[in-house]
Structure 1
Amino acid sequence: MNPSSNGETIPTNKLSPEAYLRKHHVLTYLEDALSQMVLQENIPRSTNESAKFLSEYFSSVLTENHVMFRGIAFVSATPHNRLAFLKGARKSYQHLLKSNQQLSIQEIHSLLLLLCADMPIELIQRSFLNSGLTFAQPTAFSSFLTNFELQFFLDEFLTDSIKIYRTLQAMNNSHMGSSDLSGPGGSRPGSAASTSSLSKGSSTLTNADSVDSTTFRDRLKQLVHTSKCNYPMPAMPALDEAFGSFQDHSRIKFSHFFNRLSQTRYIQSLLSSDGTNLSASNRNFTVEN
């Protein structure tokens, strides 16, 4: 059984050959295997040698030992590769997970470059910004990795989520501008009353700072349900768990959603799987579309 883009299960024997190859990224691995084969010092010259090489290659894929020290294009090419890399990073730096030492974004990037030589710093920056941190704020590696795991695995989904969030923000601002330019409490944005609501220690969010949690949740569910994009995204139960701690129609920032999602069982359940069967037996995620 395999999850569809909206979290429903599709029996493998119901898939066409083309859909099966696409769903399991078989051609991606075959192309990579052949590329790796011709790079060998002793290129296999017989059928038996080629079969042995392919067997060893797919064994490494199955045991998740195939992505360390590879380029970002391959590391991020499939959901399985992304999870294998994240597990490898956690294993490689497990000593740092027990440390409270504060690391800068540049130091963290240097650590990941040791595992993936062209790891873009923009990925790390997005995990900082989406969790509410600034680039200047140091953080413990354990805290960073929790956020980065979510960002790395769901990068495209989070990018689309931000677009939805900004659209809702723009709609809020347009509504405010078309009325009497009043904030939630009736004061004009920028006035003393409005500014005081954002003073240190205040938990009040204006329309310009946030979006309606229920509307945002419904838009994200619509994205998951209707998307035809070939990238991993959370299934409905994961979103329900993330939004479950927000009251209906409360005001939230994107960082609130991001941090709630990172604290769910979603990523933890993915990383605790053995990597051999990312299937619908775990209802908290959808790994292939």
Structure 2
Amino acid sequence: MRNAKPVSFQLPQIRTLLDLSAVRLNDILLLLSQRHVLTYMEDAVCQLLENKEDISQYGIARFFTEYFNSVCQGTHILFREFSFIQATPHNRASFLRAFWRCFRTVGKNGDLLTMKEYHCLLQLLCPDFPLELTQKAARIVLMDDAMDCLMSFSDFLFAFQIQFYYSEFLESVAAIYQDLLSGKNPNTVIVPTSSSGQHRQRPALGEASMLEGVEASLFYQCLENLCDRHKYSCPPPALVKEVLSNVQRLTFYGFLVALSKHHGINQALGALPDKGDLMHDPAMDEELERLLAQVPGLVNSVTASSEASCLPSRTPPRVGSPWRPLHHARKVDAESDGSTEETDESET
């Protein structure tokens, strides 16, 4: 049997192979960064170390499988700290979807709640959810009205979606708006560079800014430049242009209202259904009916949770490990989803 002929490479070929390897590695690293895979790996390892005694009987491989299954399903954000639920765009979209699915019966029943009551509902999913973000979302709905006014679920939800998902972007937009009002160069705006959850205070918008507004075309030019250089999520520039092309002047909160009501922006974000389908979730309804039928004492627990759901003092336990939420996520959703069933019956 003849010996295999050795393969010889010339120096240029070796350089080409190394260059290709470097390009592929850079592409892989870029993809991992864009998908925030390293964020989830770090979180998974931390959860594993914190709960290694509970997980050891199931095995590390199964833990990682269930962890990333929960990430794909969007249940990984349940009862997690705010710094985690706002760490990635996927986490934010998952939180929005969970909030809608858990409490959509508020809208289905036609209930109107105050800003503080909506904040209590948010805290049921994220105990340390900041009041400031809830207030900003309520301001989009209420404008000049008192902050203790009642809001419908759909109005608050779509306003909250814009404020929560695009929070860093809107901070920069508010600064640009203030600069335009005062005649300053908006290019000097400092874009937020931290996602630690400590949001900068939005510049105060006085009565003059609420009444006068700014020129829409100039405002769009500034926002177009902002979208090009902004490292965080922002609405598609084409849709922002569509929003601003219908008016000559607008106020900051008028812009936020337009964003929250824009059908295309809601579709581009992809977390919530269209407004017409907001109260429909057949899969969750079926799951809720199944749980109610199988667990005799669940109806009483749902009634109790309904009575306590709007109490500011209620603080749900934080579940540190994704291992346990994976087994209890369905029950939590069911309890939250049914938390207004008692209200529905009492009102009728």
SS of the equivalent of 2:95 reads helix
What's the counterpart of residue 240 of structure 1? Answer: 241
Summarize the Cα distance change of 1:138–1:218 in structure 2 as closer, same or farther, 3 Å threshold.
same
Deviation at 1:65, TM superposition (A): 1.2
Taking the TM superposition and a 5 Å limit, the aligned residue runs for 1:120-199 are 120-131=130-141, 132-133=143-144, 134-171=146-183
What's the counterpart of residue 34 of structure 1? Answer: 45
Deviation at 1:82, TM superposition (A): 0.3
Is residue 225 from structure 1 mapped to residue 236 from structure 2 by the alignment? no
CA offsets 1:17-45 (integer angstroms, 9 cap, x no match): 33222111111101111111123263555
Summarize the Cα distance change of 1:216–1:86 in structure 2 as closer, same or farther, 3 Å threshold.
same
Summarize the Cα distance change of 1:49–1:144 in structure 2 as closer, same or farther, 3 Å threshold.
same
Is contact 1:169-1:208 (8 Å) kept? no
Report the Cα distance in structure 1 between the residues aligned to 2:29 and 2:257, rounded to whole angstroms: 37
> Which structure dedicates a bigger proportion of its chain to helix?
2
What's the counterpart of residue 120 of structure 2? Answer: 110
Which residue identity lines up with residue 236 of structure 1 in the other structure?
P
What's the counterpart of residue 91 of structure 1? Answer: 101
Summarize the Cα distance change of 1:225–1:271 in structure 2 as closer, same or farther, 3 Å threshold.
same
What's the counterpart of residue 64 of structure 1? Answer: 74
Summarize the Cα distance change of 1:157–1:14 in structure 2 as closer, same or farther, 3 Å threshold.
farther
What's the counterpart of residue 271 of structure 2? Answer: 271
Is residue 19 from structure 1 mapped to residue 30 from structure 2 by the alignment? yes
Report the Cα distance in structure 2 between the residues aligned to 1:167 and 1:217, rounded to whole angstroms: 14
SS of the equivalent of 1:66 reads coil
Is contact 1:102-1:141 (8 Å) kept? yes
What's the counterpart of residue 252 of structure 1? Answer: 250
Which residue identity lines up with residue 16 of structure 1 in the other structure?
D
Deviation at 1:206, TM superposition (A): 8.1
What's the counterpart of residue 303 of structure 2? Answer: none
Deviation at 1:50, TM superposition (A): 1.6
Is contact 1:96-1:142 (8 Å) kept? no
Structure 2 gaps, min length 5: 1-22, 185-206, 274-348
Report the Cα distance in structure 2 between the residues aligned to 1:109 and 1:272, rounded to whole angstroms: 19
What's the counterpart of residue 335 of structure 2? Answer: none
Summarize the Cα distance change of 1:272–1:43 in structure 2 as closer, same or farther, 3 Å threshold.
same
Identity %: 31
| Residues 131-140 or 154-163, more deviating | 131-140
Report the Cα distance in structure 2 between the residues aligned to 1:102 and 1:27, rounded to whole angstroms: 41
Report the Cα distance in structure 2 between the residues aligned to 1:145 and 1:207, rounded to whole angstroms: 23
Which residue identity lines up with residue 267 of structure 1 in the other structure?
N
The TM-score with structure 1 as length reference comes to 0.71
Report the Cα distance in structure 2 between the residues aligned to 1:272 and 1:143, rounded to whole angstroms: 13
Summarize the Cα distance change of 1:68–1:24 in structure 2 as closer, same or farther, 3 Å threshold.
same
Summarize the Cα distance change of 1:151–1:206 in structure 2 as closer, same or farther, 3 Å threshold.
closer
Deviation at 1:136, TM superposition (A): 3.1
Report the Cα distance in structure 2 between the residues aligned to 1:244 and 1:14, rounded to whole angstroms: 43
Is contact 2:77-2:95 (8 Å) kept? yes
Report the Cα distance in structure 2 between the residues aligned to 1:64 and 1:207, rounded to whole angstroms: 38
| CA RMSD, Structure 1 to Structure 2 (Å) | 2.6
Report the Cα distance in structure 2 between the residues aligned to 1:45 and 1:69, rounded to whole angstroms: 23
Paired positions, count: 225
Report the Cα distance in structure 1 between the residues aligned to 2:209 and 2:259, rounded to whole angstroms: 23
Report the Cα distance in structure 2 between the residues aligned to 1:206 and 1:54, rounded to whole angstroms: 51
2:61 to 45, 51, 55: 51
Is contact 2:93-2:165 (8 Å) kept? yes
Is contact 1:169-1:207 (8 Å) kept? no
Is contact 1:99-1:140 (8 Å) kept? no
CA offsets 1:107-133 (integer angstroms, 9 cap, x no match): 111111111100101001111234425
Is contact 2:140-2:253 (8 Å) kept? yes
Report the Cα distance in structure 2 between the residues aligned to 1:27 and 1:223, rounded to whole angstroms: 27
Based on CA coordinates, which of the two structures has the bigger radius of gyration? 2
Is contact 1:104-1:137 (8 Å) kept? yes
